[in-house]
Amino acid sequence: MHKHLMTPIALAVGAAMVVSGCSKTTSQNPSTSASAASTSAAASAGTAGAPAPAATVTIPPDQPIAFTLDDQYNPCNDFDQYVNAKWNAANPIPADQTRWGAFGILHEKSLLQQKQILETAAGDARNKSGSELEQKLGNLYDAGMDTAAIDKLGYAPIKPQLTAINGLKTPADIAEFLDTSFNNGDSYVFNFGSGADFKDATRQIGYVFQDGLGLPTRDYYLSPKYKDIRDAYVKYIAKSLALVGTPDADAQKQADAVMQFETELAKASLSPTELRNLDNEYHFVTVAEADKITPHFNWEKFFKAQSVDVGKGFSLSQPKFMAEFDKLLATAPASQWQAYLKFHLINGASPALSRAFEDNRFDFYGKTLSGQPEQKDRWKRVVGSVNHAMGMGLGELYVAKYFPPESKARAEELVRNVRAALKEHIENLDWMSAETKQKALDKWALFMPKIGYPDKGEWRDWSGLTIQPGNWYANLEAASKYNYHYDINKIGKATDRKEWHMTPQTINAYYSPSTNTINFPAAILQPPFFYAKGDDAVNYGGIGFVIGHESSHGFDDQGSQFDGHGNRVNWWTPQDKKAFDTRADALVKQYDSYAPIPGKPDLHVNGRLTLGEDIGDLGGLNVAYTALQTALKANPKQADQKIDGQTQEQRFFLSSARVWEGTARDKTAELMLNVDPHAPPKIRAFASAANMPQFAQAFQCKPGDKMDPKNPVKIW
């Protein structure tokens, strides 16, 4: 399946955790984590030296906005445990999950809602009723749930591709196979898609990106510490090949050849940290210049096969990787290419094939790599595939049923207030010159907030996609081709700032530097992030923090390299850029010091990899705090009130930490340290607040306490 290349910067990442620290871009009752029998914070706040009690109000029964705090922890030294330990202990990770928390719960809730929609649509489709969109979604879901038909087919759906691969003899044959496969929606070795031109964001150009590895990063191929994973991966490859009839001895030889092939690709691949360098994301070339980098792969033929005109050129974003691909095209034996292509065909198709293929894939990627004991229920996997195939279509039905207009109105108000606070912060920076401030304010003024879902008339058209009753693999292939061409057909056209790159049912939010938009899907606008009738402190600490986080991405280490129109231009004076980098480096050092996995003190957060999200968290929390203070000034009576014995400031920070409740399996935690541009949730629960004197004041922390900042980092 094709990836969207110019990935927006999201709040969180993962299936059980839809919001990535931003996502750079994955529950049950949403109030479960928010309202379980609350321990009054009065005593715990007193332990931490809270201010004297003021007038106390009681939360009405229909607003379950209480906190389950653990008094054995001092909030000034272990804020995450103080807020989340009891919830974590009472909510172990389900067997079909790799991590669990607020995001996971909301994701499960969203899945259940989507299941209800799809089951209704499936019934309508069988009865030939419902809209065209509902019939397509219903037929797609029905086909995915028909395991008897899927198991009966075995691997028959991919036999034509296997036969084609077995017939490849020359580099020209392989290149032609790649051309055809891409056109059908199946990518190998690299990815191709559309994105805004770094130098003219008003237009879309083509982007080619490195890909082609079955393991998470280049280190998994090259580092001695991942030998066991490599060995397990080779066994997985061999079994995958055996499942399509390859004799065991041949399957083992071919698996070794695949590993050798991918290792060569890995050597030329950039690490996740290196890919965050924008110089490594954009390398504009003409077609003729690209052909010089890959003399054995003709780009004119490739683009012609895709029926796309790239105009004056495209971004060959990682030239070193593409040169290695070309070298392998010319020198690797056809048999090695056949093994590599067959395995990746099988690997990509496995979720849509019979149970033996699904189980084989899960055994490696689920159990071995991520530590997940049990596979998700069939319906969850099918809903996930439907989202991948027709997610925005499903979102149209989701919004109509589950997203009340009043939620959007309240969220829009919070966005306005948080954005106003960000402007205030920019205006009052003491380390930035007036010249650069004005450029930052110019960018701020061009922000476009998008709340909930696309506007009327902006939903995607699915009329060109044919979904057949009862053919799961063929339907997913048709959707993959349809979505691929929907994407690449943007090349040469104007950038659409109103387009959404995240579905309304996704528990996440994101900022897009190329369009300068902040985007908040409908599904995140619910507890514990957002309470339509909740108190300001909880809402600003929850969804306000998210809004501030996404807004701050416009000014993180990457976002700060784009202007308000989405162009990559330098709008900084040298002195101001140096001051920014000094503060960013201090944040890197802070996060580098965290070792979040118990019993593994040598595994640290990579502060350079997580820097963008860390700046988003730090700026977001500061800005949301200011927005809360502005709201409280407008309502002095509320400012003096306590709820459950907690001041407004305390509730703000408690809310900001609670959204990161949850735990992860050790294998997943280690994997995320390597690939996730977000710090682990348990770190995010306190790391930004540790830089805020306002936190120390709210909880009356003492000198020497971990949350009493000695040299706080403040950027925005």
Q: Does the structure show a pLDDT above 60 at 55? A: no
**Among 45-54, 204-213, 360-369, which is the least confidently predicted range?**
45-54
Helix residue spans in 23-99 (DSSP H): 32-35, 41-47, 79-90
Q: What is the homologous superfamily of the domain 175-352 according to CATH?
A: Neutral endopeptidase , domain2 (1.10.1380.10)
Total H helices, total E strands in the chain: 31, 12
Q: What is the pLDDT of residues 78-131, one digit of tens each?
A: 999 999 999 999 999 999 999 999 999 999 999 999 999 999 999 999 999 989
Tokens of residue 164, six digits? 């084609």
pLDDT of residue 638: 83
Strand pairing class (99-101; 662-664): antiparallel
- 8: confidence class by pLDDT, cuts 50, 70, 90: low
Contact by Cβ (8 Å): 27, 110: yes
Name the amino acid, one letter, at 481: K
Q: Taking the model in full, what pTM does it have?
A: 0.90
Region 52-70: mean pLDDT is: 54
Residue 42 has pLDDT above 70, yes or no: no
pLDDT above 70 (res 428): yes
Write down the pLDDT at residue 640.
Answer: 85
- The closest of 502, 455, 507, 408 to 113, measured between CA atoms, is 507
Higher pLDDT, 305 or 413: 305
pLDDT of residue 694 exceeding 50, the answer is yes
- pLDDT for 52: 32
Give the pLDDT confidence score for residue 282 in this predicted structure.
98
Reported as a single tens digit per residue, the pLDDT across 548-598 is 999 999 999 999 999 999 999 999 999 999 999 999 999 999 999 999 999
SS3 state of residue 312: coil
Please, where are the H alpha helices in 184-318? 219-222, 227-242, 248-267, 272-275, 287-293, 299-305
Location of structure tokens 């040469």: 492
At residue 451, what is the residue type? I
Which residues of the chain form CATH 1.10.1380.10? 175-352
Residue 24 clears pLDDT 80, i.e. is over it = no
Work out the average pLDDT over 37-65: 34
Question: Greatest CA span in the chain, whole angstroms?
Answer: 81
Q: What percent of the chain has pLDDT over 90?
A: 85
Parallel/antiparallel/unpaired status of strands 517-521 and 448-452: parallel
User: pLDDT grade, residue 49 (50/70/90)?
Assistant: very low
Mean pLDDT of 174-197: 98
pLDDT > 80? residue 37:
no
Which two three-digit tokens encode residue 323? 């040169």
The pLDDT assigned to 2 comes to: 40
Residue type at position 22: C
pLDDT classification of 29: cutoffs 50, 70, 90: very low
pLDDT at 405 (0 to 100): 76
Question: Residue 653: what are its φ and ψ, rounded to 5°?
Answer: -70, -35
- Span 9-102+407-458+498-698 CATH architecture: 3-Layer(aba) Sandwich (3.40)
- State yes or no: pLDDT of 531 exceeds 70: yes
pLDDT in tens, 617-669: 999 999 999 999 999 999 888 888 899 999 999 999 999 999 999 999 999 99
For every residue of 385-435, DSSP letters joined together read HHHHHHHHHHHHHHHHHH--HHHHHHHHHHHHHHHHHHHHHHHT-SSS-HH
Nearest by Cα to 509 from 531, 533, 526, 495: 526
Strands (E), 425-516: 448-452, 510-512
Summarised one tens digit per residue, pLDDT across range 586-603 is 999 999 999 999 999 999
CATH 3.40.390.10 positions along the chain are 9-102+407-458+498-698
pLDDT-derived band at 401 (thresholds 50, 70, 90) equals very high
